[in-house]
C-alpha cells in the first residue's frame, strides 16, 4: 500500500480522509498548512499528496509551486481537495500548476477512493462497488447532531470489524456477496454523513469567526448569505434587515439572483410570507411548487420558485429581518437539516448584527466623549495660561517696586518670568549703536552667562527674528512655532537645540525709541495667546519705565517715588478689582473691603456682626439662586453670578459676583474668595441702549426695528387665528412749511404732539411707530373683517380733526394715509410696507386729510421695478457702474486720512440712478455679491494707483452687504482683491452695518478675526441705528465706530441726538476705537463733534463724493 500526505488546516477534514483511506491499508501522514506539509514531503517522500487550496500559511497553490520547484519531490502526484463553492476556481488553478485531480468538498467516499486509486495507479478492490448516495430526505438535520455523530461512529466501528474479518479465509467463505455489499453501503453512508456534518460545522465555525470580525453590515450579510447557500445547497438566497417599524429593508444582500431583482426587493415593502417571518419566529419550508412565486408568498414579479425555505433573522429579544433560500440543488425540497442550518445561520446573523449596532453606538459615544474632553482640556489650558501670565505680571510688579538697582531688577525680572510662568527661557538685551543686541540679563534653560550673543538672533537673510522685529519696528515680534518656518535658519537651529518652540520679543521703549528687547521662550508651540501678549507688552513697558527711572541722577529718590507709586498702584488694583473684595470661611466672613459701604450702603462692620446679613440684603427674586453659591463653588471651583441687592434707602443695585474656592495642598477647601462689581450703571446703559435701539429718540414711539418685530409677531398670530391686520402709513401734509416758518423746534414739538394723540387714540394691542421725518405707521391687530378695519381707521383719522396747540400756536394738521390689509393685499412684510407706502402717496395727491386703501391697480408701480431689475442685470454683466470717493478727514488737522468708496450708476443721458433705488433691488435679486466684489476690486486697484502716482498713502473704505459678508468665499475674495491690485492690507477698510454684525454675532466673530489677521481694518457703519450687545462689541476686532448720519443731522438742535452722539463717542473711546461721524454738513455740527473729541468726520461740509480724478486733485492739494 501507499504513503499518502494530507495537507488541510481543518482537523475534521484530515480525520475524515485518514479514516476513509485507512481502511485501504494506506499509511496516512498529516500536516496543518503548506509549510508543515513541505517539511513532511521532504522527510517522508510520500507517494501521493492531497492538499487543500485555502490555508492560512502557504496555501495550496504556493505548496504545489514549491513542491514542483524541488527536483526530489517534483514528480509526486497531487490532488486538490477544496470546498464546492471554489471548485471552478480550483479547476482553473489546477490546470495552471499541472495538477490533474480536483476533489470537491464534500465528495462521496467512492469518488474519493476511486480518485486516490487512479492517482496511485492501483485497481479498485471491489470491481462492482457502487457507493450508496446520500438522499436529502434521509438526513435528520442538525437538531440532534451529537446523537448522529455517535450513530455514525458506531456504524464505522461495526463496519471496521467486518472488514477486518474479510482477511480470514474461513469467514470469507461464510460471508455471501449480499452481506459484503451491505457492509460497504453502510460504511459509505456513515462516512458521507460524517463528512457532511463535519463540513457543516466547519462552515458555521468559519461563519462565526467571519461575522465576529465584520464591521460593515453588508459584509456581514454577504457572509451569512454565502454560507447558507453553500450549506443548504440552494440555487439562490436573499437576506434583509429592517429598522424597527420599517416596511422597507435598510440592508438587503442576495446571492444567485440578478441585480435588477435584488434592487427591486430592496425597495419593496415587506409582504406575504416575509411578513409572517417578521411577525413570528417559525420556519417556512415549501416544496413541489410550480414556479409561480406567489405560491411561496412572494411578489408576482419575483423569479420562478420551485422550493422555498424561509427563516426569521432573530435574537432572543428582537426580530431584525428574514433569510430565504430558493430551489434545492439536486433535490425537490429542503430537508430538516437544511432548515436547522439556515436557522443557525440566521441566529448568528441576528446576534452579530446587534453586536455591530452596539459597537457603532459605543464608537459614537466614544467620539462624543473624546471631543468633549478635548474642549474642556483646551478651555482649562487657556485659563491656566492666562492665570499664569497674570501671576507673572503681579510678581514682576513686586520685583519692580522693590528694585534698587538696574542690573538686579533685570535679573530678578527674568528669574521671575521663568520660575512663575514655567517658561523655558527669558532674556533682556540692550541695543548697541549699530543695531546689535547685548544681553544684560537672562534666566531659564542654559542659564549660564553667554560668552557670545549670536548675531543670527538679530539679523537673518530670510527674514527678521522676533528680537529683530521688536528692535527694528518697535512692535512685538511673535513666532508661534519655530519649526514651522522653513527652511530652518541659524537662529531657528539654535533655538531648537535649546528646546525653544515658541518665542515672543517686546521692545523696551524710551520716548518712542527702542533701547532694548525683552524675549520670552517657551518649550511648546503657540504658548502665547492675545491676552498674554497684551500683558507681556505691559510688562515690557513697566520694565522700560523702571530702567529709565533707575538711571536718573537722583535714582534713589526716584526709586522711592516709583516704589510708592507702584505700591499705591498695586493697592488700588487690589482695592478696586470689581469694587468689593471678600473672603469667607464657609461659616463666617474673614475679610471684606471697606468699599462695601459705597456699594451696599452699609459699613463692613454690619456684615461681620450679622452673618445672615450678607444674604438678607439680596433681592427676594434672586435670593434662592444665590443661596446655593457655596454648593456651586464646591462643585465647579469658581462661579460668576449677577443679582440685585436692596440698600437701606430702598434703592436697588446690580452686583456681579466672581468667586472661587481656595484649596490647600491636600485639596481641602479652606476658604472662599471673591470680588463684587457694582454693575448698576452697565445694566442701566444696556437698558437705555435697548430702548434707544427700539424707540424713536424724539417722540418715544416705536422705531422701525420694534415695528418690524411686532409686525412679524402679529402676522404670525393672524395666520394662526385666520384674522386680519392693517398697516396705516401716515404722512403729515405741509410739515415742511411748519419747519420753515416756525423753525425745527416747533416742528419737533408738533411731532411730539401728534405722537401723543396717536398713542392716546389707538387700542392697547395696536402699535404706533415713527417711520422718520413726518411719517408715522400704525399697526392695527386683532381684526376680523374689512368693516372693522374701516371703523378703526376712521377713529384714528377723527383724532386729527381738533387743532393742535403747540408752543402757544394753534395748528391745523391734515394727514395723508395709505392702508393695506393682511393677508388680503399681501402676506409678506416688505410687500405690506410697500403697499401702504404706495397707497399713502396716492392719498397725498388729494387735498386735506385723505385715506387710500391699497388696490391691485396700484401695483402698476411694480412694472417700473421690474424694468429697473432688468436694466440692473445688464449693468452688472457689462460693469456699467462707476465708483466715487468721499474723503474722510481728521477732525483736528482737517487732513484727508481716508476715503469711502461709493458706487454710482451713470445713465446715457448723463444722469445718475441713486444707490438708494438700485442697491435694495440688487440685494433682493442676488446681484449684490457680484456688484460688491467689483466695487472691492475697483477700490483696491484705484488706491494702489494713487499710491504709485506718489500721492499720500490713505485707507480706502468699502461697504460690505449682509449677503456679501455671509458668502463662504469672502476671505478669498478680499485676499484676491489685495493680491491682484498689490495694495497693502492695512490700506483697506471694510465697513459693516451694526445690524449685520449683531444678527449672527458668534458666526461673524470668526470671520472678523480672519479678516483682521490679514491686516485689514474693520469698522461698524451706521452705529446707533441697530441693537448692539456690549458683550459682543468688545469681542469684535474692529478699529472704528461710524456714527449714523441720522444722529448727526440734528445734533446741534436735538438734545436726544446730541446725547446719543456723546454716548457713542465715549463708548468708542472706552473700547480704544476711533470714532467717525458721517453726514457732517454744517460748521455747527463740526464744532459739536470737535468739542466732544470725535476723531474723524465725513460729509458735504468738506466734500461731496467725487470721481477718482477729482479725489486725486484733493490729495495733491493736501500733500502740497
Count Cα neighbours of 29 within 13 Å in the Cβ-side half-sphere.
Answer: 22
The per-residue pLDDT for range 504-555, each reduced to its tens digit, is: 999 999 988 999 999 999 988 888 888 888 888 999 998 998 888 787 655 5
In this prediction, residues 563-580 reach a mean pLDDT of 62
562 contacts: CB under 8 Å, gap ≥ 6:
400, 401, 545, 546, 549
53 contacts: CB under 8 Å, gap ≥ 6:
59, 60, 61, 80, 82, 86, 90, 93
The per-residue pLDDT for range 888-947, each reduced to its tens digit, is: 999 999 999 999 999 999 998 888 988 888 887 888 788 889 999 999 999 999 999 999
Which of 387-396, 785-794, 851-860 is predicted with the least confidence, judged by mean pLDDT? 851-860
**pLDDT at position 998:** 63
> Helix/strand/coil (H, E, C) string of 142-182?
CCCHHHHHHHHHHHHHHHHHHHHHCCCHHHHHHCCHHHHHH
The answer, yes or no, to whether the previous bond of 823 is cis (omega within 30 of 0) is: yes
The per-residue pLDDT for range 366-397, each reduced to its tens digit, is: 888 888 887 888 777 777 777 777 888 888 88
**pLDDT at position 1026:** 58
Name the grid cell of 96.
495552471
Q: What is the pTM of this model?
A: 0.33
Angstrom distance (rounded) from CA 718 to CA 185: 92
Q: Reduced to 3 states, what is the DSSP secondary structure of residue 501?
A: coil
- Give the domains, in start order, of the chain with CATH numbers: 3-125 (3.40.50.2300), 214-363 (3.30.450.40), 403-572 (3.30.450.40), 577-678 (3.30.450.20), 685-854 (3.30.70.270), 866-1119 (3.20.20.450)
The per-residue pLDDT for range 288-317, each reduced to its tens digit, is: 899 999 998 999 999 999 999 999 998 888
**pLDDT at position 984:** 96
Q: Cell numbers 422701525 correspond to what residue? A: 704
Is pLDDT of 109 > 90? no
Which of 245-254, 915-924, 1110-1119 is predicted with the least confidence, judged by mean pLDDT? 915-924
Q: What angle do CA 1082, 1088, 1094 make, to 5 degrees?
A: 105
More confident residue, 452 or 930: 930
Could you tell me which of 610, 604, 657, 606 has the C-alpha nearest to residue 629? 657
In this prediction, residues 1054-1077 reach a mean pLDDT of 92
**pLDDT at position 578:** 55
Is pLDDT of 258 > 80? yes
User: How far is CA 690 from each of CA 417, 765, 780, rounded to the nearest angstrom?
Assistant: 45, 21, 24
Angstrom distance (rounded) from CA 675 to CA 592: 10
Angstrom distance (rounded) from CA 19 to CA 193: 13
The per-residue pLDDT for range 790-848, each reduced to its tens digit, is: 888 888 888 898 999 998 899 999 999 999 999 988 888 998 998 998 888 788 867 67
Full DSSP string of 613-632: HHHHTB-HHHHHHHHTHHHH
* Torsion angles phi and psi, residue 393, rounded to 5: -60, -45
User: How far is CA 562 from each of CA 404, 406, 411, 414, rounded to the nearest angstrom?
Assistant: 10, 13, 19, 20
What pLDDT band is residue 586 in, cutting at 50, 70 and 90? confident
Residue 921: Cβ within 10 Å count:
17
* Percent of the chain with pLDDT strictly greater than 70: 84
Which of 3-7, 571-575, 952-956 is predicted with the least confidence, judged by mean pLDDT? 571-575
In this prediction, residues 942-957 reach a mean pLDDT of 96
More confident residue, 337 or 260: 260
The per-residue pLDDT for range 736-772, each reduced to its tens digit, is: 888 877 888 999 999 999 999 999 998 889 999 998 8
Of 4-8, 201-205, 906-910, 991-995, the range with the highest mean pLDDT is: 4-8
Strand 815-822 relative to strand 850-853, pairing: parallel
**Across all residues in the chain, what is the average pLDDT?**
83
Is pLDDT of 26 > 60? yes
Number of H-type helices and E-type strands within the chain: 40, 36
Is pLDDT of 999 > 60? no
Could you tell me which of 682, 640, 633 has the C-alpha nearest to residue 662? 633
Strand ranges in 466-548 using DSSP code E only, listed in sequence order = 477-479, 502-510, 513-522
Helix (H), strand (E) at residue 900: strand 896-906
Is pLDDT of 322 > 90? yes
What pLDDT band is residue 1114 in, cutting at 50, 70 and 90? very high
**pLDDT at position 211:** 66
Do 935 and 981 meet the contact criterion of CB atoms below 8 Å apart?
no
**pLDDT at position 182:** 56
Angstrom distance (rounded) from CA 349 to CA 335: 21
What pLDDT band is residue 176 in, cutting at 50, 70 and 90? very low
Which of 3-7, 408-412, 492-496 is predicted with the least confidence, judged by mean pLDDT? 492-496
Do 474 and 509 meet the contact criterion of CB atoms below 8 Å apart?
yes
User: How far is CA 1056 from each of CA 277, 933, 1063, 1096, rounded to the nearest angstrom?
Assistant: 79, 38, 11, 21
**pLDDT at position 571:** 56
Do 416 and 387 meet the contact criterion of CB atoms below 8 Å apart?
no
Helix (H), strand (E) at residue 678: strand 669-678
Amino acid at each position: 500500500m501507499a504513503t499518502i500526505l494530507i495537507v488541510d488546516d481543518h482537523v475534521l477534514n484530515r480525520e475524515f480522509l485518514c479514516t476513509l483511506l485507512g481502511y485501504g491499508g494506506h499509511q496516512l501522514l498529516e500536516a496543518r498548512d503548506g509549510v508543515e506539509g513541505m517539511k513532511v514531503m521532504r522527510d517522508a517522500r510520500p507517494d501521493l499528496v492531497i492538499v487543500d487550496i485555502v490555508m492560512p500559511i502557504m496555501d495550496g497553490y504556493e505548496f504545489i509551486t514549491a513542491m514542483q520547484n524541488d527536483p526530489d519531490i517534483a514528480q509526486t502526484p497531487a490532488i486538490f481537495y477544496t470546498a464546492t463553492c471554489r471548485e471552478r476556481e480550483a479547476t482553473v488553478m489546477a490546470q495552471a500548476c499541472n495538477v490533474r485531480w480536483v476533489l470537491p468538498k464534500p465528495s462521496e467516499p467512492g469518488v474519493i477512493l476511486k480518485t486516490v486509486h487512479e492517482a496511485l495507479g492501483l485497481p479498485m478492490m471491489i470491481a462492482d462497488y457502487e457507493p450508496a448516495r446520500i438522499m436529502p430526505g434521509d438526513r435528520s438535520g442538525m437538531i440532534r447532531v451529537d446523537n448522529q455523530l455517535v450513530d455514525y461512529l458506531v456504524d464505522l466501528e461495526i463496519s471496521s470489524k467486518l472488514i477486518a474479518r474479510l482477511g480470514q479465509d474461513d469467514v470469507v467463505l461464510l460471508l455471501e456477496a449480499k452481506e459484503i455489499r451491505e457492509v460497504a453501503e453502510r460504511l459509505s453512508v456513515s462516512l458521507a454523513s460524517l463528512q457532511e456534518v463535519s463540513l457543516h460545522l466547519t462552515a458555521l465555525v468559519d461563519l462565526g469567526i467571519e461575522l465576529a470580525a465584520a464591521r460593515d453590515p453588508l459584509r456581514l450579510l454577504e457572509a451569512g448569505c454565502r454560507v447558507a447557500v453553500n450549506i443548504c445547497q440552494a440555487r439562490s438566497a436573499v437576506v434583509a434587515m429592517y429598522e424597527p417599524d420599517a416596511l422597507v429593508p435598510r440592508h438587503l444582500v442576495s446571492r444567485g439572483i440578478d441585480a435588477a431583482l435584488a434592487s427591486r426587493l430592496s425597495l419593496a415593502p415587506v409582504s406575504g410570507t416575509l411578513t409572517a417571518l417578521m411577525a413570528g419566529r417559525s420556519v417556512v419550508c415549501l416544496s413541489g411548487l410550480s414556479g409561480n412565486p406567489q405560491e411561496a408568498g412572494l411578489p408576482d414579479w419575483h423569479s420562478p420558485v420551485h422550493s422555498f425555505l424561509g427563516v426569521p433573522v432573530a435574537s432572543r429579544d428582537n426580530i431584525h429581518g428574514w433569510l430565504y433560500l430558493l430551489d434545492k440543488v439536486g433535490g425537490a425540497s429542503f430537508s430538516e437539516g437544511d432548515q436547522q442550518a439556515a436557522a443557525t445561520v440566521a441566529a448568528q446573523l441576528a446576534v452579530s448584527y446587534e453586536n455591530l449596532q452596539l459597537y457603532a453606538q459605543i464608537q459614537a459615544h466614544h467620539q462624543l466623549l473624546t471631543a468633549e474632553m478635548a474642549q474642556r482640556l483646551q478651555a482649562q489650558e487657556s485659563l491656566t495660561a492666562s492665570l499664569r501670565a497674570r501671576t507673572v505680571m503681579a510678581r514682576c510688579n513686586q520685583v519692580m517696586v522693590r528694585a534698587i538697582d538696574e542690573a538686579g531688577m533685570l535679573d530678578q525680572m527674568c528669574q521671575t518670568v521663568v520660575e512663575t510662568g514655567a517658561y523655558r527661557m527669558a532674556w533682556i538685551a540692550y541695543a548697541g549703536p549699530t543695531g546689535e543686541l547685548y544681553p544684560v540679563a537672562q534666566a531659564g534653560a542654559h542659564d549660564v552667562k553667554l560668552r557670545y550673543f549670536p548675531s543670527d538672533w538679530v539679523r537673518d537673510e530670510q527674514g527678521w527674528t522676533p528680537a529683530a522685529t521688536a528692535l527694528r519696528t518697535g512692535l512685538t515680534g511673535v513666532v508661534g512655532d519655530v519649526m514651522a518656518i522653513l527652511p530652518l535658519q541659524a537662529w531657528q537651529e539654535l533655538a531648537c537645540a535649546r528646546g525653544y518652540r515658541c518665542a515672543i520679543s517686546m521692545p523696551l521703549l524710551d520716548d518712542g525709541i527702542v533701547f532694548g528687547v525683552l524675549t520670552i521662550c517657551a518649550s511648546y508651540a503657540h504658548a502665547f495667546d492675545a491676552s498674554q501678549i497684551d500683558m507681556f507688552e505691559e510688562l515690557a513697558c513697566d520694565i522700560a519705565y523702571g530702567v529709565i527711572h533707575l538711571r536718573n541722577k537722583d535714582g534713589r529718590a526716584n526709586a522711592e517715588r516709583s516704589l510708592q507709586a507702584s505700591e499705591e498702584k498695586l493697592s488700588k488694583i487690589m482695592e478696586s478689582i470689581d469694587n468689593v473684595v471678600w473672603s469667607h470661611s464657609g461659616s463666617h466672613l474673614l475679610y471684606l473691603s471697606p468699599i462695601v459701604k459705597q456699594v451696599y450702603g452699609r459699613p463692613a462692620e454690619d456684615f461681620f456682626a450679622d452673618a445672615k446679613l450678607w444674604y438678607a440684603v439680596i433681592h427676594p427674586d434672586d435670593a434662592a439662586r444665590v443661596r446655593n453659591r457655596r454648593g456651586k463653588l464646591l462643585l465647579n471651583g469658581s462661579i460668576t453670578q449677577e443679582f440685585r441687592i436692596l440698600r437701606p434707602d430702598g434703592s436697588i443695585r446690580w452686583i456681579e459676583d466672581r468667586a472661587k474656592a481656595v484649596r490647600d495642598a491636600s485639596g481641602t477647601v479652606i476658604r472662599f474668595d471673591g470680588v463684587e462689581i457694582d454693575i448698576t450703571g452697565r445694566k442701566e446703559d444696556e437698558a437705555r441702549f435697548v430702548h434707544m435701539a427700539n424707540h424713536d429718540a424724539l417722540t418715544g414711539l416705536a422705531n422701525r426695528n420694534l415695528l418690524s418685530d411686532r409686525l412679524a409677531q402679529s402676522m404670525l398670530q393672524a395666520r394662526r387665528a385666520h384674522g386680519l391686520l392693517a398697516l396705516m402709513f401716515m404722512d403729515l401734509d405741509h410739515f415742511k412749511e411748519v419747519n420753515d416758518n416756525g423753525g425745527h423746534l416747533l416742528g419737533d414739538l408738533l411731532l411730539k404732539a401728534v405722537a401723543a394723540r396717536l398713542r392716546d387714540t389707538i387700542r392697547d394691542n395696536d402699535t404706533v411707530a415713527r417711520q422718520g421725518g413726518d411719517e408715522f405707521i400704525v399697526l392695527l391687530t386683532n381684526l376680523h373683517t374689512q368693516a372693522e378695519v374701516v371703523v378703526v381707521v376712521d377713529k384714528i383719522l377723527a383724532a386729527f380733526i381738533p387743532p393742535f396747540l403747540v408752543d402757544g400756536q394753534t395748528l391745523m394738521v391734515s394727514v395723508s394715509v395709505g392702508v393695506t390689509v393682511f393677508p388680503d393685499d399681501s402676506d409678506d412684510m416688505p410687500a405690506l410696507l410697500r403697499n401702504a407706502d404706495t397707497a399713502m402717496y396716492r392719498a397725498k395727491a388729494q387735498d386735506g386729510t385723505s385715506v387710500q386703501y391699497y388696490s391691485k391697480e396700484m401695483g402698476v408701480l411694480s412694472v417700473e421695478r421690474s424694468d429697473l431689475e432688468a436694466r440692473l442685470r445688464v449693468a452688472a454683466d457689462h460693469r456699467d457702474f462707476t465708483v466715487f470717493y468721499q474723503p474722510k478727514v481728521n477732525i483736528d488737522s482737517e487732513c484727508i486720512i481716508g476715503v469711502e468708496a461709493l458706487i454710482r450708476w451713470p445713465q446715457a443721458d448723463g444722469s445718475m440712478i441713486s444707490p438708494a433705488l438700485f442697491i435694495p433691488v440688487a440685494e433682493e435679486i442676488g446681484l449684490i455679491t457680484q456688484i460688491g466684489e467689483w466695487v472691492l476690486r475697483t477700490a483696491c486697484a484705484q488706491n494702489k494707483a494713487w499710491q504709485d502716482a506718489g500721492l499720500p498713502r490713505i485707507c480706502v473704505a468699502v461697504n460690505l452687504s449682509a449677503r456679501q459678508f455671509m458668502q463662504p468665499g469672502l476671505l478669498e475674495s478680499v485676499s484676491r482683491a489685495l493680491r491682484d491690485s498689490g495694495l497693502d492690507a492695512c490700506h483697506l477698510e471694510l465697513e459693516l452695518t451694526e445690524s449685520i454684525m449683531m444678527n449672527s454675532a458668534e458666526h461673524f466673530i470668526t470671520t472678523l478675526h480672519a479678516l483682521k489677521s490679514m491686516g485689514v481694518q474693520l469698522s461698524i457703519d451706521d452705529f446707533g441705528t441697530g441693537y448692539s450687545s456690549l458683550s459682543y462689541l468688545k469681542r469684535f476686532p474692529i478699529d472704528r465706530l461710524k456714527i449714523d448720519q441720522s444722529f448727526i443731522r440734528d445734533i446741534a438742535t436735538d438734545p436726544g441726538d446730541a446725547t446719543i452722539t456723546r454716548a457713542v463717542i465715549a463708548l468708542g473711546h472706552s473700547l480704544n476705537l476711533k470714532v467717525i461721524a458721517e453726514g457732517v454738513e454744517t460748521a455747527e455740527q463740526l464744532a459739536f463733534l470737535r468739542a466732544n473729541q470725535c476723531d474723524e468726520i465725513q460729509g458735504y461740509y468738506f466734500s461731496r463724493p467725487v470721481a477718482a480724478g477729482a479725489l486725486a486733485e484733493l490729495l495733491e492739494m493736501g500733500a502740497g
